[in-house]
Chains A and B, each alone.
Chain A
Amino acid sequence: MKYPKQLLYTKFERFWHWSQMLLVLLLTLTGFEIHSSFSFFGFERAVRLHSAAAWSFMGLAVVSIFWMLVTHQYKNFIPTKYKLKEQVKYYTSGIFSGMPHPTHKSMYNKLNPLQRIVYAGLLILIFPVQIVTGIAYMYYHYPQNPLDAGGLTLAAGTHTFGAFLVVAFVIVHMYMTTTGYSVSSNIKAMISGFEKEIGQEETKSETQSE
């Protein structure tokens, strides 16, 4: 079966994705070190890196939100029921017998119905919660602040739980990259921007412009 070769991820999206990946990696490592789960950077460096990475992450988020709004790419993250059942069925049975993907990707339909739910959850629930509790962690922990958070218990607890969810997401996310048309086609798409056609030669020049 042949799929058309097409541009899926623009230069900005790829830059955003890989920057975010590195920042999430740094945040996770330093965050769990602050949680005393292990020792690597040293506590003080972990704290400083975690704060700095948080600011970069938020800066990148602001730019990305702006970009998504002006390019209408945010629509990719709006959950839909269309073909949701088929998608669940594909991942729970079809994939094992080599059935074709029930949905097709395009610039304006990057995520399948299941992904839309997961990513919307990530963008609407986990990231904002991490950002809000993270800011509270940095600035609103002392009782004498005008907005009394009564200590770090709530912010820290929520932030920690969010961090566990992010790790779980990363695990499943990395695995899911292997479930494209080929095992590596999804990762390659996030690097080159293009989804490769099955059966096409690697050497075939890519003349299509973005």
Chain B
Amino acid sequence: MNNVLQKLTVLLVTLVLPAMVIYFTVFFGLRPNEARKIEYVSKAEHTASVDHSQFDLLQQQFTNPKQVTAACLTCHNKRDDELMQSSHWKWERDAEIPGRGIVKIGKKNLHNNFCTAAEGNNGSCMRCHIGYGWEDKSFDFNDPTNIDCLVCHDKSDTYFKQKGMAGWPATAETATKEFPVPDYNLVSQSVGYPDRDNCGVCHFFGGGGNNVKHGDLEEALFHSTKKVDVHMGEDGRNLVCVDCHRTEKHNIKGRAYSVSAENTNRADCEQCHTSKPHNDVVLDYHNSKVACQTCHIPVYAKVNATTLYWDWSKAGRKDADGNPIKEYDADHNYSYLSIKGHFVFDNMVKPEYYWFNGTADHFLTEDTIREIPVKINKLFGDYKDPNAKIWPVKVHRGKQAFDPVTKQVLSVKLYGKGKGEGAFWEDLDWEEGIRKGMEYQERSWSGQFDFVETEVYWPLNHMVSVKEETLSCKECHTRNEGRLASLNDFYLPGRDYNALIDYTGIGIIIVSLIGVLIHTLLRIF
């Protein structure tokens, strides 16, 4: 009996209890943590406090959309003041850029490497301005009736700004089948919070086509599934843009770093998800150095392709009959247009990764080129920067016109009403396009031009994946060719090692084994 008891004791202390230690270690180590649940009611479910169709004011015969604006402002007074302070209206703002001080930047005066610049191409580009008729420098930014309330607040889905009209909807003279004169009574009586159509009509088509610019904002998001965007999926929470881009007094949260420089007024995930969303120490700790977007947006341009490369130097080629050319790649995306040059489009694109602290530099209109490729905008941040996180970025590369004498990036008049105005898209003449473009911006040009490589950096925020498709650890924590292979200013576990330590360590182990082996042999023989 004693003997049996003793054997059981031995079993207990040498096997059962140690096994229990391991069991509990593994049990608690691998215990799944449930992510925090978010309670939120979408703005889309908001019920208007008034019925606009009941207002006599909106039954009148409108002959001009400016009359609609005037009608809006009779009740919604002071809203015009808010709006006229916004970057949607001014297309520029004061921004402090480290090393430059305070500068005025915005869509109005910055270069980009898509259609290269807005000002001077007003008829086409300013279609997406929230005003009526910013055709040239004479546009009155202080006239409240120039505000287009409807483009953001129309819920009838029948109001559109006409192409090439600098922000005007169709009039009786310009109306076409595609762009009829809006029914202003219907439109003004069906206003409400902006939904996806209102924002998307401009923000999904920047750069002259669907998804050309952003890569993560495109028409597929009008009717999305969770698989494309977990927030906007109609089979999920079905959120609209303003649910995240929260707005007070027409100040819309959110920054696009193609035109922004400061780390303020940003829309971020923490608004809803807090800074410890995973309820898991290891994952939440990543948040101090890794943006949510990095793991949760493993690919972008999930449905339709986005532009990754745009070479303006190839533009202007014509076919044997002197007509413009259109060429397509295997996926039916443009690969060549005479008026725009050579493109590379792709979908399901893996982002590039950069440190980003929420501030950015911009290549200002008058800047001279110091490095090639020219960084049209540059994201600030590195590992040591306490505000910097690793972000997924769409980098758009290309070639665009510059002045080899003054080393400035050139502005080109692309859009015109017809041939003979000097617009490149009409006449395919670089010299005239540049002359007119530089004239409009009142900048000097040496008369020479060439093409230079340029890059823009757009941090990604949309097309957040379902949790099953988030990045796995191994995508970054791996020896070779991980997603963060190019970010080398810090030690990343699983990727990095100290060769001296590893070889010394392996050496010690080999010496131990040889020692043991020799000792064994000497004992046997």
Interface residues of A in 141-185 (CB under 8 A from B): 142-144, 151-153, 156-157, 160-161, 163-165, 167-168, 171-172, 175
Contact of A60 among B21, B477, B494 (CB under 8 A): B21
- Please state if A167 and B509 are interface contacts (CB–CB under 8 Å): yes
- Please state if B25 and A43 are interface contacts (CB–CB under 8 Å): no
Residue A26 at the chain B interface, CB threshold 8 Å: yes
Q: Which interface residue of B17, B22, B30, B384 has the most chain A CB atoms within 10 A? A: B22
Residue A49 at the chain B interface, CB threshold 8 Å: yes
Q: How far is the CB of A39 from chain B (nearest CB, A)?
A: 8
Contact of B18 among A21, A48, A160 (CB under 8 A): A21
Residue of A nearest to B385 (CB): A143
Residue of A nearest to B477 (CB): A43
Contact of B509 among A42, A156, A171, A190 (CB under 8 A): A171
A43-B477, A152-B490, A192-B10 as given contacts; A18 in contact with B516, CB under 8 Å: no
Q: How far is the CB of B291 from chain A (nearest CB, A)?
A: 14
A49-B30, A52-B26, A168-B508 as given contacts; A175 in contact with B516, CB under 8 Å: yes
- Please state if A156 and B516 are interface contacts (CB–CB under 8 Å): no
Which A residues are in CB contact (< 8 Å) with B25? 23, 26, 49, 52-53, 55-56
Instruction: Enumerate chain A interface residues (CB-CB to B < 8 A).
Output: 11-12, 14-15, 18-19, 21-23, 26, 34-36, 42-45, 47-49, 51-53, 55-56, 60, 91, 95-96, 137, 142-144, 151-153, 156-157, 160-161, 163-165, 167-168, 171-172, 175, 190-193, 205-207
19 contacts between A and B (CB under 8 A): A14-B10, A19-B17, A19-B21, A26-B25, A35-B497, A44-B473, A48-B29, A51-B29, A96-B522, A143-B383, A153-B491, A164-B504, A165-B505, A168-B509, A168-B511, A175-B516, A191-B10, A205-B2, A207-B2
Q: How far is the CB of A181 from chain B (nearest CB, A)?
A: 14
- Please state if A161 and B18 are interface contacts (CB–CB under 8 Å): no
A48-B282, A143-B383 as given contacts; A163 in contact with B21, CB under 8 Å: no
Count of B residues near A, CB < 8 Å? 58
Work out how many contacts link A and B, with CB atoms closer than 8 A.
144
- Please state if B513 and A14 are interface contacts (CB–CB under 8 Å): no
Which A residues are in CB contact (< 8 Å) with B9? 11
* Contact residues of B: prevailing secondary structure: helix
Q: How far is the CB of B169 from chain A (nearest CB, A)?
A: 51
Contact of A34 among B21, B383, B493, B498 (CB under 8 A): B493
Which B residues are in CB contact (< 8 Å) with A161? 501, 504-505
Known: A22-B18, A35-B493, A171-B516. 5 other contacts (CB 8 A): A26-B25, A35-B494, A36-B478, A49-B30, A164-B509
- Please state if B21 and A23 are interface contacts (CB–CB under 8 Å): yes
List the 4 shortest-distance A-B pairs measured between CB atoms, nearest first. A164-B505, A52-B29, A152-B491, A19-B18
Which B residues are in CB contact (< 8 Å) with A95? 523
- Please state if A22 and B22 are interface contacts (CB–CB under 8 Å): yes
- Please state if A151 and B491 are interface contacts (CB–CB under 8 Å): yes
Instruction: Enumerate chain B interface residues (CB-CB to A < 8 A).
Output: 2-3, 6, 9-10, 13-15, 17-19, 21-22, 24-26, 28-30, 282, 285, 288-289, 383-386, 472-474, 477-479, 490-498, 501-502, 504-506, 508-509, 511-513, 515-516, 519-520, 522-523
A21-B18, A56-B24 as given contacts; A51 in contact with B508, CB under 8 Å: no
A34 to B282, CA, bound (A): 14
Which B residues are in CB contact (< 8 Å) with A191? 10, 14
Contact of A206 among B6, B22, B282 (CB under 8 A): B6
- Please state if B17 and A15 are interface contacts (CB–CB under 8 Å): yes
Q: Which interface residue of A43, A60, A91, A137 has the most chain B CB atoms within 10 A? A: A43
- Please state if B2 and A14 are interface contacts (CB–CB under 8 Å): no
A172 to B519, CA, bound (A): 11
A160 to B30, CA, bound (A): 23
Q: How far is the CB of B268 from chain A (nearest CB, A)?
A: 18
